[in-house]
Structure 1
Amino acid sequence: MTNWYKVGKVVNTHGVRGEVRVISTTDFADERYAIGTSLMIRHEGQKEEFPVEVRHHRRHKNFDLLQFEGYHSINDVEKFKGATLYVSEELLKELDEGEFYYHEIIGCLVITEEGTELGKIKEIIETGANDVWVVQRIGGGKDILLPYIEDVIKDINIEEKIIRVHLMEGLVE
């Protein structure tokens, strides 16, 4: 069975020629959306999947605009609005040391240097300067927002799914 990993969300159609507007959650948009790349589209909570092949890709403002083989009009792609785009595990390349895929970070337990468990990473937000990791607290409460910078993120152990952090003043209420 093939594992599929989220690379973006279709937020709308674009024009009348079958393009979709995508907010990417990948650092490798040019690679993920290269012509001929196979992707899968699925609405969250639904079983129906649409395998697609990228026909055309371009950047427009903060979006990736994609067109798929066999989908030539707005009517063909309307059904994809709100759906999630996935890439096959087989298309993931090896990363350099110290680099991680989002799916490797999401779900990791976050602990302080003193050993206090804070919660698990539930989301990664891309900002201009650095990513922000959203930690869902153990026992509830307001999420913790951790900037992905050396002063805060001290150690990442993907095998054990543990991230050790230094809580700078003001990060946690």
Structure 2
Amino acid sequence: MDKLIETGKIVSVFGIKGEVKVQPWCDDPQLLCELDRLYYKSGTPVEIERARVSKNIVVMKIKGIDTANDANKLRNRVLYLDRDDIELEEGAYFIQDLIGLSVKDADTGREYGIITDVSQTGANDVYHIKAQDGKMYYIPAIKDVVKQTDIENKLMLITPLEGLFEGAEEIRE
């Protein structure tokens, strides 16, 4: 498991005093405002002096970046958080940790495929599952479907909604 997790991208400059606009890659942009330190991919720490959410973008002041010109040099840099700096609620996971999990039926053990992506729809996340035959399936990340998520063993057990995997048997034969 990677210690650093992508959390957003600096997309532009805000004002003339070195603030930047960050496109958040997390469920709640407010999360970025609560962190005092982020990182670049190299692991170099980025000290955050202040941050606020403005229309789903985070406006951030990075220590040592004091002019629009300095801020512009950071455009397109990806920011990372240290997973140890975040305490997840019970049953919550980093999307990065879900990618690659094997998805199996909780009752029969039938293997459906591997999680390749997660869409955040607002109501609930949707897991993209790629079967061995290349066919894609989409399951809602709800308690009625997802029975167990075991990050350590790279396994998710589900009880699929009726009809979700219909026809998959014929394709696999």
TM-score interval, normalised by the smaller of the two chains: 0.7 to 0.9
**Separation in 1, partners of 2:76, 2:102:** 29
- After TM superposition, the structure 1 stretch with the greater mean CA deviation from structure 2, 62-71 or 7-16, is 7-16
- 1:129 to 1:79, Cα distance in 2 relative to 1, 3 A: same
1:119 paired with 2:113, answer yes
Over the residues paired in the alignment, what is the CA RMSD in angstroms?
A: 2.8
Superposed CA offset, 1:116-173 (max 9, x none)? 32332233332221122233443434x4332211222122122211111233256457
Q: Which amino acid aligns with 1:3?
A: K
Task: Note closer, same or farther for the CA distance 1:146–1:7 as it changes in structure 2 (3 Å cut).
Answer: same
Give the Cα–Cα distance (whole angstroms) in 2 for the partners of residues 52 and 9 of structure 1: 13
2:49 to 51, 55, 67: 55
In the superposition, relative to structure 1, how do residues 58 and 152 fare at CA in structure 2: closer, same or farther (>3 Å)?
A: same
Report what 1:38 is aligned to.
37
Following superposition, the deviation at residue 29 of structure 1 comes to: 4.5
Match of 1:45 in 2: none
Contact kept in structure 2, 1:106 and 1:122, CA below 8 Å: yes
TM-score normalized by the length of structure 1: 0.75
What amino acid is the match of 2:139?
L
**Offset at 1:72?**
1.9
The answer to whether the 8 Å contact 1:41/1:80 transfers is no
CA contact (8 A) 1:108 1:120 kept: yes
Amino acid at match of 1:13: V
Q: Is the 8 A contact 2:126 2:141 kept in 1?
A: yes
- Where structure 2 has 5 or more consecutive residues not aligned to the other structure, the ranges are 168-173
Give the aligned residue type for 1:17: K
- What is the match of residue 72 of structure 2? 78
2:60 is matched with which residue: 63, 66, 69?
Answer: 66
TM-score (norm: length of structure 2)? 0.75
Asked which structure has the greater CA Rg, the reply is 2
Whether the 8 Å CA contact 1:34–1:54 is kept in 2: the answer is no
Equivalent position to 2:96, from 75, 100, 103:
103
**Number of equivalenced pairs:** 164
SS at match of 1:90: helix
Show structure 1 runs of 5+ residues with no match: 43-47
Q: How high is the sequence identity, in percent, across the aligned residues?
A: 30
Cα separation, 2, equivalents of 1:17 and 1:25? 24
State the partner residue of 2:22. 22
Q: Deviations over 1:46-71 (max 9, x none)?
A: xx565311112111112222120111
